[in-house]
Amino acid sequence: MEFRLRQRGRAEMEFLVDLALAARPLEARWRAEIEDAGLTADALPEDLDARHAVVERALARSDAFATAALVGDFASVEHGRAAQAAFDEVADALRPRLAELEAQGPATLEANPQLVPPAYWDGVWFHRTTGGWNGHPEMGFIHGELIHRHYVARTFPGDIFAQRARVLSRLPQAARAKVRTVCELGTSSGHYTVALQRTLPDAHITGVELSLPMLRQAQRVANAHGWPWRLVQGPAEATGLPGNSFDLVTSYILLHELPAEAANAVWREAYRLCRPGGWVLMADVTPYRALDRLAAWRADWLARRGGEPWWRESASMDHAEAARQAGFVDVTEGGLDGAPYPWVTLGRKPR
Ligand SMILES: C[S@@+](CC[C@H](N)C(=O)[O-])C[C@H]1O[C@@H](n2cnc3c(N)ncnc32)[C@H](O)[C@@H]1O
């Protein structure tokens, strides 16, 4: 969707992007310092908290690490506030267009005013974004367009939108050709839903998400393209949708936002939703067991500092085994295109 920020808001968002990019070379410096200290991945303690202590002791005098951490903290704290302020400056001009896009169809949105959001999600500032997923009445636009498209995507090493489409290459070609009904869990503002619809043009997509502001943005995205998505406000672990009714149940970067108990419930719900012979495909963060100890320390350090309260719990569980426990068969898992991230778990419901 075309829109223009005011100069102040644009400059503030650009500054955060520039800052993140300018700080990036510092990583090579502090990694070299770790090497100089003789710390190798294999020598690090197995226990994650002990590992944090060892690595941080080695980096205690590192200007490069301290500066990178400071920049990261600053961007984490500021990005949500800056994006909301940038939106508020243009809100009056944008609102009629947003309302029009919501109303025009063909996508539908089923809000649930009775919803009691789970405590692990409600009011949590994921990614340290001001207010969390419901932190602003227009969080869907603010997150989907300003934070994700204009900040995250520009500081992410690679094409984060292309990656969503690549995830679907894990689905066997013959299966892709047959998929007509898709249930996406954790739809947010609809970025993965777009990749799903483009990859599976004949599929009808149902999207489930807790946050109404995020779903309203997904609805605008669908309407702008003429896609008849069914968007449902609710928990992924108990969607209320009919069982045995989807050829594919899928999510992109949902599971790490859930404690293990909820993630297991999502796997069970995915199994219930899948039709016999249907597929499940979940793309998420790399399990720590697939990383060396230094890489797992880094992922855990970023998660702790980056407002990811459940990342460690999720990355420490075995999602492939959770899929099997839920009933899926032929379960495979692995990183995409030879890289450890994102980690894709794929399985099938027996016929
Ligand atoms: C990282 S975002 C997902 C990104 C999205 N799939 C995309 O491609 O941009 C995680 C989303 O999952 C939603 N979410 C978290 N826990 C949920 C749950 N239990 N049920 C449904 N949605 C959930 C959050 O509100 C958030 O919008």
Q: Report the candidate in 288, 292, 282 with the shortest Cα–Cα distance to residue 332.
A: 282
First and final C-alpha spacing in the chain: 42
Q: Tell whether the model's pLDDT for residue 238 goes beyond 80.
A: yes
Q: Tell whether the model's pLDDT for residue 304 goes beyond 80.
A: yes
d(CA 89, CA 175): 46
Contact 81, 125 (CB under 8 A): no
Residue 117 lies in a domain: no
Q: Name residue, tokens 């590992």.
A: 51
At residue 2 the predicted structure's pLDDT band, cuts being 50, 70 and 90, is confident
% of the chain exceeding 70 in pLDDT: 100
Q: Are residues 311 and 269 in the same domain?
A: yes
Q: Are residues 306 and 165 in the same domain?
A: yes
What residues have CB less than 8 Å from 68, skipping those under 6 apart? 23, 26, 27, 30
Q: Is the CB of 254 under 6 A from ligand 1?
A: yes
Contact 145, 1 (CB under 8 A): yes
Nearest CA to ligand 1 atom 27: 188
Contact 152, 160 (CB under 8 A): yes
Q: Are residues 93 and 177 in the same domain?
A: no
Nearest CA to ligand 1 atom 11: 186
d(CA 223, CA 189): 13
Residue 51 lies in a domain: yes
Q: Tell whether the model's pLDDT for residue 302 goes beyond 80.
A: yes
For residue 305, the domain's CATH number is 3.40.50.150
Q: Are residues 74 and 196 in the same domain?
A: no
Q: Are residues 214 and 145 in the same domain?
A: no
DSSP letter for each residue of 46-94: SSHHHHHHHHHHHTTT-HHHHHHHHHHHHHHHHHHHHHHHHHHHHHHHH
Residue 118 lies in a domain: no
State the Rg of the chain over Cα.
21
> Which of ligand 1's atoms lies nearest the C-alpha of 187?
6
Gap from CA of 314 to ligand 1 centroid (Å): 14
Q: Are residues 220 and 282 in the same domain?
A: yes
Residue 37 lies in a domain: yes
175-202 pLDDT per residue, tens: 999 999 999 999 999 999 999 999 999 9
Amino acid found at 191? H
Q: Are residues 220 and 148 in the same domain?
A: no
State the total domains in the chain.
2
DSSP letter for each residue of 95-128: HHHHHHHHHT-S-EEE--TT----TTTTT--GGG
Q: Are residues 282 and 190 in the same domain?
A: yes
Q: Are residues 168 and 296 in the same domain?
A: yes
Among 188, 197, 211, residue to substitute to test ligand 1 (most atoms within 8 Å of Cβ): 188
Q: Are residues 200 and 317 in the same domain?
A: yes
Q: Are residues 327 and 184 in the same domain?
A: yes
| DSSP E strands, the chain | 108-110, 181-185, 204-209, 230-233, 246-252, 274-284, 329-335, 343-348
14-47 pLDDT per residue, tens: 999 999 999 999 999 999 999 999 999 999 999 9
Tell me which residue range forms the domain holding 204: 156-348
Cα-Cα-Cα-Cα torsion 14, 221, 283, 45, nearest 10 degrees, comes to 30
| 138-142 average pLDDT score | 97
Residue 110 lies in a domain: no
Q: Are residues 246 and 327 in the same domain?
A: yes
pLDDT at 8: 96
pLDDT at 71: 96
Residue 221 lies in a domain: yes
Residue 61 lies in a domain: yes
Residue 113 lies in a domain: no
What is the DSSP code (8-state) at residue 132? G
Gap from CA of 235 to ligand 1 centroid (Å): 10
% of the chain exceeding 90 in pLDDT: 97
d(CA 280, CA 320): 11
Q: Report the candidate in 213, 220, 319 with the shortest Cα–Cα distance to residue 267.
A: 319
Q: Is the CB of 126 under 6 A from ligand 1?
A: no
Domain limit, last residue, from 137, 152, 167: 152
pLDDT at 1: 75
Query: What predicted TM-score, i.e. pTM, was given to this entire model?
Result: 0.96
> Which of ligand 1's atoms lies nearest the C-alpha of 195?
8
